[in-house]
Structure 1
Amino acid sequence: MPGPTATRVPRLFNRSTWPEARRIADILRKETIGGALLLAAALTALIWANSPWAQTYQDLRAIEAGPAALHLNLDLATWAADGLLAIFFFVAGLELKREFVAGDLRDLRRAVVPVAAAVGGVVVPALVYLAVAGGTAAKGWAIPTATDIAFALAVLAVIGRSLPDALRTFLLTLAVVDDLIAIVIIATFYTSHLSVLPLLAAAVPLAVFAVLVRRGVRAWWLLLPQAFACWALVHASGVHATVAGVLLALTVPVLSRTPPGGTEGPGPAEHFEHRFRPLSAGVAVPVFAFFSAGVGLGGLAGALSDPVAMGIVAGLLLGKPVGILAATWLVARFTRATLDEGLAWIDMIGLAILAGIGFTVSLLIGELAFGESGARFKIAVLAGSLSAALLATVILRLRARVYRRIHQSETADSDHDGIPDLYQQP
């Protein structure tokens, strides 16, 4: 029998600390509401685009607005993709930085699993897409690589209320890292032309924004002009404007500057995340979904038999879960780690399939790759995401029934201090 100095076996998906679990729960509530709004917006667009008034939907998308002198007289669909999604990526950047600086993922042992899973969930779907589509359609290789945070978490909230918090935290972290990889892919592979001077000029308002937030400035009338100038210059450079959202987020400090003898409050990153997450989840993503999901479903069978559509569906349904599971298994294999007590690999299978919901960013990348020339990639993204959601629902609902039986003991608070006994065990 091992003595007291025996090496402790590392665990995958071990329980978060109580502050982290409480913060994740707050994020999940906001993203769940956002997922419901996203779904409603997408359904509205689909119904409208397949109604007798379909042309009015297209006319609405084509309405131009913005200052022509700044070359920002863009149609509403472009404003949604380039402008509103910059807010989405700003929040994703804040979340990622906060996780690695002050969250549980500052511990390398915790970070390696979701990061490896996210990388596997990008590489394998891309390879599957290229194997199926390939040829002249190779430029769409990144479409099935993204996981939609709001949509996936909304599905998980509905079907898996009794699932362990570790699985929810894993999905959230994986999706955030996935989004960061997506923005790197967009900036690197989907920049058709590059104007160096505007890109260099964007560094000026970015630097001013960084100095202001590091000095504790939170006044919107000082920060917003710098953020808009950075966004506009990045847009003018030819790099997709959503990149500006991540760049701005990475300049925001995570930890607050506590005065001597003072009480530590929320850091700037947490402050901005708290203010902008409702705007991202409740406005930016649903509006983008409304302007992007409206596609005519006539000839649906023919569209899904197209090599591009088949590659996207295969990447989301097959490549995404295989990549996530393979990366997770490899981490477990080489670190000799085991799943946390009470979890099973079937839980991971369901979660990995759920990560195949690639709605928002997949539609964005599809528009960058193929433009508005055809609806095949949109139909494929919708079909693949819906299929992943339904298949994951079957698996995770069955697993939720198992966990429901132990849910009462998991949330017991015998000393009534507001913290479950679970998080007070030594």
Structure 2
Amino acid sequence: MAATPPRGPFLGLLTWPERQAVARALRTETVGGLVLLAAAVVALVWANTPFSDTYVAIRDFHFGIPALGLDLSVGHWTSDGLLTVFFLVAGIELKRELVVGSLRTPSTAALPVIAAVCGMAVPAALYAATAAIGGGSMDGWAVPMATDIAFALAVLAVISTHLPTALRAFLLTLAVVDDLGAILIIAVFFSSDINYWALAGAFAGLIAFYVMQRLRVQGWWWYVPLGVAIWALMYNGGVHATVAGVAMGLILRTTRDEGEQESPGARIGHLLHPYSAGLCVPLFALFAAGVTVSGEALGEVFTTPEPLGVIIGLVAGKILGIFGGTYLAARFTRAQLNPDLAWADVLGLATLAGIGFTVALLIGELAFPDAATREHIKAAVLVASLTAAFLATLFLRRRNRVYQRLYEEERVDQDGDGIPDIYQRTEGSSA
């Protein structure tokens, strides 16, 4: 049986169970990120061809059940419906991090949480400053706050870096905390026309969901209809329907009972994660990323305060917030950086976190009802994400030889027992 290594330095070796959990999550996210990247490219090409009218017609086509207040366009079904699955998976992942992952204790949670909070606060502040100086609207302050983990991992796959698992896990934890911040912002700041009866029904459904989990009720035929009802009531209550997904994800049990192979949270997460990453998020991107690209449109992105604030917030804000927050937190907590890594690696990771695609597009749609401004904000998110990806590629490729050595050391298994040898060394051996 693999020995658990002692608590090491910041960005040091993960424990074997944590390493396995992170590897499973990142594998699906990477594949989903490549599909997401393809969907974004298709959307951009489609929206800038003679067939752009077809794109708009499909995106704006309405269907649903008007009697239940669910007569939505295709674009709204993807953002309010399919992204609920994405946030359900995010809620499960957050619950796992809080219960058994890197957020379970204050000592392990301090650095990633501080980094994530700074990585949300500084971009919002830079957007606000840019909008104030340019006389623009403050409504988009939350757009540059989110990191898109799938898109970031797709970039890593495309540039073929061998980033060590600890760095990837840190990026994943940042994104999980980011998702929590995003959903809180959506729930608090982007709720409108509140229907208290519908919200009361949604909360009653969540209580029933919680009780069923406590009583160990099994069977999808109980949970699926209840989940759909909670989602519909939350939507009609005036709160963005994705909040229902996060709430149900946080309620799902992530610890195993005796005799269980998997907890309900792990089982549902494994079931839905491929659909979320490979279908739901790419379909949202397909109908959200289709913006008209022209010299005039790009000029307005860089000369209008709102989209310029998004670009500055995502590119400069993420670097200053995440790198600065991590560096200061490490100094005040006296955390020692893994001697095999350097602060330049954290800088590269902070730059990569400036890719803020999915949630940034969602918040942009909520923050700006005006179609013209919304298109400029979407273009800004795309420009900022591409810029962050380019800069991160420059930073990370410089260190790829170091990453490749660490990556290979983590995978040596000379005895062929399926557990890398680095996890079976005695506490006194060299690392």
Q: Which interval holds the TM-score relative to the shorter structure?
A: over 0.9
- 1:301 and 2:298 correspond: yes
- What is the correspondence of 1:64-143 to structure 2 with a 5 Å cutoff? 64-134=62-132, 135-143=135-143
- 1:278 and 2:274 correspond: yes
Counterpart position of 2:341: 343
1:224-278 Cα offsets, whole Å, 9 max, x none, are 11101111111111111111111111111111221xxxx4421111111101101
Does structure 1 conserve the Cα–Cα contact (< 8 Å) formed by 2:165 and 2:407?
no
- CA change 1:418–1:96 in 2 (3 A) is same
Question: What CA distance in whole angstroms lies between the structure 1 residues aligned with 2:219 and 2:406?
Answer: 47
Question: What CA distance in whole angstroms lies between the structure 1 residues aligned with 2:399 and 2:275?
Answer: 33
Question: What CA distance in whole angstroms lies between the structure 2 residues aligned with 1:331 and 1:9?
Answer: 18
Counterpart position of 1:253: 253
Question: What CA distance in whole angstroms lies between the structure 2 residues aligned with 1:22 and 1:237?
Answer: 40
Which SS does the other structure have where 2:137 is aligned? Answer: helix
Counterpart position of 1:331: 329
Counterpart position of 2:231: 231
> Which one-letter code corresponds to 1:164 in the other structure?
P
Does structure 1 conserve the Cα–Cα contact (< 8 Å) formed by 2:306 and 2:377?
yes
Question: What CA distance in whole angstroms lies between the structure 2 residues aligned with 1:150 and 1:364?
Answer: 15
> Which one-letter code corresponds to 2:387 in the other structure?
S
- What is the correspondence of 1:402-413 to structure 2 with a 5 Å cutoff? 402-413=402-413
Question: What CA distance in whole angstroms lies between the structure 2 residues aligned with 1:353 and 1:78?
Answer: 31
Deviation of the 1:405 alpha carbon: 3.6
- 1:414 and 2:410 correspond: no
- CA change 1:332–1:67 in 2 (3 A) is same
Counterpart position of 1:33: 31
Question: How high is the TM-score relative to the length of structure 2?
Answer: 0.93
Question: What CA distance in whole angstroms lies between the structure 1 residues aligned with 2:31 and 2:227?
Answer: 27
> Which one-letter code corresponds to 2:54 in the other structure?
T
- What is the correspondence of 1:371-386 to structure 2 with a 5 Å cutoff? 371-374=369-372, 375-386=375-386
Deviation of the 1:300 alpha carbon: 3.0
- 1:16 and 2:18 correspond: no
Question: What CA distance in whole angstroms lies between the structure 2 residues aligned with 1:301 and 1:278?
Answer: 35
Deviation of the 1:105 alpha carbon: 2.9
- 1:156 and 2:153 correspond: no
Which SS does the other structure have where 1:169 is aligned? Answer: helix
Further displaced range: 160-169 or 183-192: 160-169
Further displaced range: 159-168 or 277-286: 159-168
Further displaced range: 151-160 or 95-104: 151-160
- CA change 1:10–1:330 in 2 (3 A) is farther
Question: What CA distance in whole angstroms lies between the structure 1 residues aligned with 2:128 and 2:102?
Answer: 36
Question: What CA distance in whole angstroms lies between the structure 2 residues aligned with 1:158 and 1:215?
Answer: 46
Question: What CA distance in whole angstroms lies between the structure 1 residues aligned with 2:7 and 2:73?
Answer: 56
Further displaced range: 297-306 or 238-247: 297-306
Does structure 1 conserve the Cα–Cα contact (< 8 Å) formed by 2:136 and 2:306?
no
Deviation of the 1:214 alpha carbon: 3.2
Structure 2, unaligned runs of 5 or more: 1-5
Does structure 2 conserve the Cα–Cα contact (< 8 Å) formed by 1:91 and 1:276?
yes
Does structure 2 conserve the Cα–Cα contact (< 8 Å) formed by 1:9 and 1:337?
no
**Alignment RMSD (CA, Å):** 1.6
Deviation of the 1:163 alpha carbon: 1.9
Which SS does the other structure have where 1:55 is aligned? Answer: helix
> Which one-letter code corresponds to 1:326 in the other structure?
G
Further displaced range: 201-210 or 36-45: 201-210
> Which one-letter code corresponds to 1:151 in the other structure?
F
Does structure 2 conserve the Cα–Cα contact (< 8 Å) formed by 1:10 and 1:336?
no
Identity %: 51
Question: What CA distance in whole angstroms lies between the structure 2 residues aligned with 1:41 and 1:158?
Answer: 15
Does structure 2 conserve the Cα–Cα contact (< 8 Å) formed by 1:10 and 1:335?
no
Question: What CA distance in whole angstroms lies between the structure 2 residues aligned with 1:282 and 1:98?
Answer: 21
1:360-409 Cα offsets, whole Å, 9 max, x none, are 00000000011251111011000000110111011111211222245433
Deviation of the 1:191 alpha carbon: 1.5
Deviation of the 1:190 alpha carbon: 1.3
Further displaced range: 396-405 or 78-87: 396-405
Question: What CA distance in whole angstroms lies between the structure 2 residues aligned with 1:284 and 1:222?
Answer: 23
- CA change 1:89–1:58 in 2 (3 A) is same
Which SS does the other structure have where 1:340 is aligned? Answer: coil
Deviation of the 1:107 alpha carbon: 2.8
- 1:287 and 2:292 correspond: no
Which SS does the other structure have where 1:202 is aligned? Answer: helix
Deviation of the 1:414 alpha carbon: 2.3
- 1:390 and 2:390 correspond: yes
Question: What CA distance in whole angstroms lies between the structure 1 residues aligned with 2:319 and 2:379?
Answer: 20
- CA change 1:218–1:279 in 2 (3 A) is farther
Question: What CA distance in whole angstroms lies between the structure 1 residues aligned with 2:181 and 2:239?
Answer: 15
Does structure 2 conserve the Cα–Cα contact (< 8 Å) formed by 1:35 and 1:150?
yes
Question: What CA distance in whole angstroms lies between the structure 2 residues aligned with 1:43 and 1:242?
Answer: 25
1:161-218 Cα offsets, whole Å, 9 max, x none, are 4221100000011001101100001111112332222111111221222222333344
Further displaced range: 294-303 or 115-124: 294-303
1:272-301 Cα offsets, whole Å, 9 max, x none, are 110110111011100000010011112233
